[in-house]
Chain A
Amino acid sequence: MLHWFNPLAWLAAFRFDECAELAADKMAIEDEPALAGDLAGALLLVAQDATRTRILAPAASGRTLSRRLTRLIEPTAQPGERMMLTKRIPLLLLLTALIGAGAVQVNLVAQDEPLEAIGGGAGEITVKAAQDFAAKVAGTDELHKQFKAALQTEAGALALRDRVGQMEAEAREEAYEDAIPELVNSIFVGEGDKLKLREDKQAFRSQYLSATEKVNQDLAAMRKTLNEVAGKMKLESDLDKIVHRFVTNESAPIILYVRELRPRLRPGMRVLEEILEGVFARRQDGKYAIRADARPAAEQRAKRFTEFQSILKRFRRDVRELGAEISQHDDFHKRVHAAFTDPLFTARLGAELIEDGGASRIRAERLIGNLEGALREGAEGLVVHPNEREEVGEFIEEFERGKAAAARLRAPLKQFAERIADDDELHKAWREMLQSDLALIQIGGQLEYATADAGDAIREFLSQIINEQPDGSLKVEPQEADEEELIEGISDIFRASRAARRRGRELEELLIKVDDTQLRDAMQSAAGKVVFGDYLNRHLASTIPNGLDQWIDDHFERTTAGFRIRGEAEEAIRDMLKDVDAIKEELENADF
């Protein structure tokens, strides 16, 4: 047992020292291998010569020294390093899916485009902002003077934040409470005892119907797989039974679909968000911005991209030329030939260059040289060298998968790029980069579900917790989570599904009077509610209350000279000033 009681800093310093030594031993050996044996001697010489101060003598104590000596005798190779900017989607564990899902605001259903619905701004009232407001207050009587003076202090800004914050909290609660009826009212208008679609909502109607239809197809495919799985499940343990209940439940799997499967079937923003998480984060305003800590890496990446663009034309021609010579005598070589002559393949190679150090002309040529090295002359053109067949095969297969996924990515990537914040040049550079073939093929290769079928997707998902037995039956055997965690995860899904049902009923009741039966039926169906959830999230995001404006309107009237305290608000302002004084008093020389 080592150093558990030591402060972390000391541990770090100690280990770091030790490693620095090991590292440079290695350098010395590489430099002059013959001298390896002599190095320890050199160290000891310096040790004896610690004339400056004793504490500065080099460390040459037992354990460390012996390891250094071992290393001097048996130098080992260091693995190359490689920087990954983008994050691979982790294996879809049921658990990780559920933990992340806790943040979903509206459990009615969904978020395809995840939007956070909570506004605010009280926190942004600094002393400076309070002073700016004070400067616009016009009155000259005692109360106005006191108010203006109070806003010059930290305590005054704090009291203002307090009032505004309370107002915002109420407004938020109301917005959430009224969200469903408000959204319904924005779509329909009452005529007699009927609800009719508003005139300007025709486009909405067809969008809604087609979105519902898509979700319906997915749900049907998913249900088919679930029934099949349920039929084969062996119900022995409690865990088996719990998972079986989940699989056969009418609405719980829909929650899973919304949170986990759908974003991958139709790679929307959310899946792009995950893949690009190393660089971008979605802000409260819905825009994607480059993380404060990712800037240096993002700048480098953008630079390399520009570099690649400048050699792209020639590089593409070179690759294609090589590809044209590839024999097409069998299926395998036909695929290789097709890949090499595909513009996306050049992009894929470019991504490799950029990931791995940069896309200079020389590096690009070296890469083509490597490709050539994997080929040799055959009767009808170039063929893949037998030794390289496996590796080339894998690369081509990965490329084909990426290409298939890329087809579905083009639209969402464009959408993502359009939502990149207009902050500066770097953001602009990334917007351009993300709409290139290079981004398309690179991100396409990282999509987890290449399949577009929801039935396959749920099967793949469940395979992580359910295993096939020798007799063909299915049994719950979580691979990477313990049973407790799995049960907790499933409970969470059930909870979300109950909450969704309750809010879903509220919607159904509101829709009873809708006279457009086709639309009504669609909206009341399970799939329709998934779609409604999307609209609801967007609606909530657009109703962010501004507490400061509201508070000012409640307490002040706007005159040409500036803001004046309303007569009926005087008492509230006096209360506020009392708080300011009380806080200031507490601050006088507090000691303990």
Chain B
Amino acid sequence: MLTSSLLALLLIGASPQDQIDTHLGAAQRHAGVQPAPLCDDETFLRRVTLDLAGRIPTRAELTAFRRQPNRTAKIDQLLAGDEFPRFWSQVWTSALVGYATERFEASREPLRIWLEEQLRANTPYDKIARELIAAEGESAFDGPVNFLVRHREQPAVKVSRIFLGVRLDCARCHDHPFDRWTREDFDRFTRFFDGVEYREVSGRNIRVLEAPREASEEDRPRFLSGAKPRTSRWRDELALFVTTCKPFARNYANRVWYQLLGRGVVEPPDDFSANEPSSPELMKHLTELARETKFDTRAMIRAICNSQAYQRQSGRGEESFNSHSLFASFTPKPLTIEQQIHSLRIAFDLSPTALQIQENIRNAVEESLDADFSETWAYRDNVQDEMSRLVRELPRLEGDFEDWYERILSRSPTMRERKLCEGRPQSQVIFALTHSNEFRFNH
């Protein structure tokens, strides 16, 4: 086993993805874990299209990729595409505010639209985070303020979790013997938000503004690094403190990794205080990568998707803990609602408009969750209605089951599947395919 400093020496000049695999390879060997082979081209195409465009590949894309299976070029093409900002804005919006925003008088969609614009313009992630924390403006028009409006009860808890991977929740009530953060830390962190004011300009339009604050030395807020604000704009200073400290870069790198690999190097990703990284070298490398690329999200994703770790076959559910945590195989991820709706439409050649997707998602989730989380039955009914509606709208498909497999599962049927499908009506085959877990997971 190489020492980490020797390893570091060997890695000079290596590409970021090679460094990922070198670090993981060393950790896997050390733990006696055998990595799974790389997945086939069809699986890779489906996986990366779902992860970067939020949908399964079209048949045309499948045919083209079979002819020219250049994985790196595919990653670049998807990152440059129009769908990447849209899908990742959905992913980030869910992480930032969840679905049930109306109940908190926040508007999800303006935030998503803003994030999409930022991703399209390749705005560095630290700048995005800074604007979210320090946001001012009107919730119906200015996307970023909706993050604070949604979390106005406990902004400190959410900010520390989502941007630093620190859980301050437990310190809210009392000190815990094994937790490093105390109630005092929590209180003084919370004070950064003392100046935020929320004013209702008109219905469902809340203006967030910052009133200048002053306080004596011992009453001033204090960041987890010990830093205290100098000016009267406490929240602005917090935004700077948060986005320039090292834990921010660590947390960001871990979250992007988590999104793509289905599991964080630190797991769960919002609790760095209590959990060690499964591979400290990998964590360190990813953190440095985040800072070197100046929080360019595409650069980060490019490095991860090009790694062997991302391209391995998926696990069979029989793997050891070490195998999981050291990414020796790919962890299947259930499709998000957005991915499901979009994929279903792609499989049936229904190119969705923005309004349709927005409506599908809203019908499926938002209203029922907004009403009351306890009304899970209502939620189920809504999703069911929406899916029924989508399915009702589906046109009949041309072709035979060879085509349907390619449309829905992005692969050809196996010999055994061919035999099973023989003589069965379209409705049955399509029914089985759209209901297989193979369709409903990114594997």
Contact = CB atoms under 8 A, between A and B. Distances in A.
A582 B224 CA distance: 17
A105 to B, nearest CB: 9
A481 B313 CA distance: 57
B317 interface: yes
A549 to B, nearest CB: 18
A124 B314 CA distance: 48
B420 A15 contact: no
Given A78-B388, A293-B113, A8 B98 contact: yes
B264 to A, nearest CB: 14
Interface in A78-117: 78-79, 81, 83, 100, 102-103, 114, 116
A289 interface: yes
B420 A123 contact: no
Contact of A42 (B355, B383, B424): B424
Nearest to B317: A55
B417 interface: yes
Contacts of B212: 162, 165-166, 169
Contacts of A42: 424, 428, 431-432
B420 A591 contact: no
Interface in A566-592: 579, 582-583, 586-587, 589-592
A296 B354 contact: yes
Interface stretch (B75-83, B170-178, B236-244, B300-308): B236-244
Contacts of A159: 230-231
Contacts of B388: 22-23, 26-27, 78
A330 B432 CA distance: 62
B320 interface: no
Contact of A586 (B130, B241, B387): B241
A16 B340 contact: yes
A232 interface: no
Interface in B187-229: 199-205, 207, 209-212, 223-227
Contacts of A293: 107-110, 113, 140, 358
A268 to B, nearest CB: 13
A23 B136 contact: no
B180 to A, nearest CB: 9
A10 B333 CA distance: 10
Interface string B105-127: 00111100110000000000000
Most chain A beta carbons < 10 A, residue from B202, B240, B337: B202
Interface residues of A, number: 87
Of the listed residues A49, A289, A300, the one surrounded by the most CB atoms of chain B closer than 10 A to its CB is A49
A32 interface: yes
Contacts of B98: 8
A39 interface: yes
B354 A28 contact: no
B67 interface: no
Given A49-B417, A283-B205, A27 B199 contact: no
Interface stretch (A56-64, A437-445, A530-538): A56-64
Contacts of B99: 12
A418 interface: no
Interface string B34-77: 00000000000000000000000000000000000000000000
A21 interface: yes
Contact of A25 (B110, B227, B240, B431): B431
Contacts of B318: 54
A122 B211 CA distance: 10
B435 A43 contact: yes
A66 B441 CA distance: 23
A163 to B, nearest CB: 8
B337 A586 contact: no
B103 interface: no
A124 B245 CA distance: 25
A12 B337 contact: yes
A158 B231 contact: yes
B230 A583 contact: yes
A32 B387 contact: no
A292 interface: yes
B399 interface: no
Given A158-B233, A161-B236, 16 more contacts: A8-B373, A17-B440, A23-B388, A24-B391, A51-B416, A52-B438, A53-B332, A58-B432, A123-B136, A123-B210, A165-B210, A277-B204, A281-B140, A291-B110, A293-B110, A592-B247
Interface of B: 94, 98-99, 107-110, 113-114, 130, 136-138, 140-141, 143, 199-205, 207, 209-212, 223-227, 230-233, 236-237, 240-241, 244-247, 313-318, 332, 334-337, 340, 353-355, 358-359, 363-365, 373, 376, 379-380, 383-385, 387-392, 394, 414, 416-417, 420, 424-428, 430-432, 434-438, 440-441, 443
Q: List 8 A-B pairs, minimum CB-CB distance, nearest first.
A: A293-B109, A123-B136, A296-B355, A23-B387, A162-B231, A281-B140, A292-B110, A282-B202
29 contacts: A15-B379, A15-B383, A16-B364, A16-B383, A22-B384, A23-B384, A24-B434, A31-B425, A31-B426, A35-B427, A35-B428, A46-B420, A53-B315, A55-B316, A55-B441, A55-B443, A56-B441, A58-B436, A58-B437, A78-B388, A78-B389, A162-B233, A169-B211, A169-B212, A284-B138, A291-B107, A291-B204, A590-B227, A590-B241
